[in-house]
Amino acid sequence: MKTEFNAKVLSFHGDHRRTRMTFREVAETVRDLRAPAMLVDVIPEDEIDAWWNDPGFPPIGGHEHHKGLMSSGLKLTMGQLQRIDGDGLMQGIADYFAFAATINGPMKQTRFVRFFERELGASPMKFGPCSELMLATKREYPPYDAAPHSFAPHCDSLDFGRDPRWPMKHNGEQLGAFVLIQRASNQAGFVLWDLRAGSRADLDGWANEYAETSSIAAAKSARSIAVNPTNGQMVVFNSRYLHGIERCDSTRYTIGTFLIEHGGGWRLFD
């Protein structure tokens, strides 16, 4: 009998609903677009520090592209890798997999990764028979005032490499999942807009508009939800929807990953 969690089904219409569900039901609800996102009570308060300080995570380092965010994925999370266009692509892919190979072993022992293994049977997403994608990252959002969002509005899909030679094709639904370890003092929310990117070109168009004007016209007229998890809650969302993190006044901490279904089961990567 699988564990049932307290969960909240979120809706762009505002009719959010509380329920109890297994984590597999949560993942399937979001995968099937029956909800764009869900909130799940995952970590009891007295275990939050242990999840964050799990020794299996590598240290947090600088983030090259996002000024308001640092992560434990060196400079190359999947989102960073997908931005490379041109000569650096092969080197970037080699670095990403070399790094993943050194950190995934210890990361498999973390409470965060074991949660997905236990509740979903999730295993690492692979590229070819041998190379595992990086499993997850710890994220740190320092206080930030240079833009309205600490993490600018974006979408995530494993398919969305910028370079036409991008080799990891997977154009299906993708989930993002993160646990909130510590909220910012201004309670910066995770905002999700009812706008779905069909391709890298959609995403780049929105990103360029945001970089130039600090806003996105299509998002202004779209429905949105500002999700405000409490510490220890997990947000599970469909990552094709435009989403971002509001500007943080004090340091915000999360641990996150992405999930897709591939080869008959759920797979993790970041």
Query: What residues make contact with ligand AKG under the rule CB under 6 A?
Result: 139, 151, 156, 176, 178, 190, 243, 245, 254, 256
Q: CA 61 from chain center: how many Å? A: 17
Tell me the closest approach of the beta carbon of residue 237 to ligand AKG, in angstroms: 8
Tell me the closest approach of the beta carbon of residue 176 to ligand AKG, in angstroms: 4
Tell me the closest approach of the beta carbon of residue 245 to ligand AKG, in angstroms: 5
Tell me whether residue 90 or residue 268 sits nearer to ligand AKG (CB atom): 268
Tell me the closest approach of the beta carbon of residue 91 to ligand AKG, in angstroms: 24
Tell me whether residue 5 or residue 141 sits nearer to ligand AKG (CB atom): 141
How many helical (H) and strand (E) elements, i.e. helices and strands, does the chain have?
7, 16
Tell me whether residue 70 or residue 84 sits nearer to ligand AKG (CB atom): 70
Cα–Cα dist 121/107, whole Å = 16
Q: Supply the DSSP string of 10-61, one letter for each residue.
A: E-TTS--EEEEE-HHHHHHHHHTTS-SEEEEE-S-GGGHHHHHT-TTSPPPB
Tell me whether residue 84 or residue 177 sits nearer to ligand AKG (CB atom): 177
Tell me whether residue 7 or residue 245 sits nearer to ligand AKG (CB atom): 245
Q: Which long-range contacts (CB under 8 A, 24 or more apart) does 205-208 make?
A: 206/153, 206/154, 206/155, 206/242, 207/152, 207/153, 207/154
> Residue 184 corresponds to which amino acid?
A
| Tokens of residue 85, six digits | 């266009």
Tell me the closest approach of the beta carbon of residue 130 to ligand AKG, in angstroms: 26
Tell me whether residue 23 or residue 269 sits nearer to ligand AKG (CB atom): 269
Tell me whether residue 128 or residue 172 sits nearer to ligand AKG (CB atom): 172
Element spanning 262, H or E:
strand 252-262
Cα–Cα dist 84/269, whole Å = 18
Cα–Cα dist 225/210, whole Å = 19
Tell me the closest approach of the beta carbon of residue 249 to ligand AKG, in angstroms: 15
Tell me the closest approach of the beta carbon of residue 108 to ligand AKG, in angstroms: 20
Cα–Cα dist 15/175, whole Å = 21
Those residues whose C-beta lies under 8 Å from the C-beta of residue 170, and which sit 6 or more positions away, are 157, 158, 159, 260, 262
Q: Find the Cα–Cα–Cα–Cα dihedral 249, 250, 251, 252, rounded to 10°.
A: -60
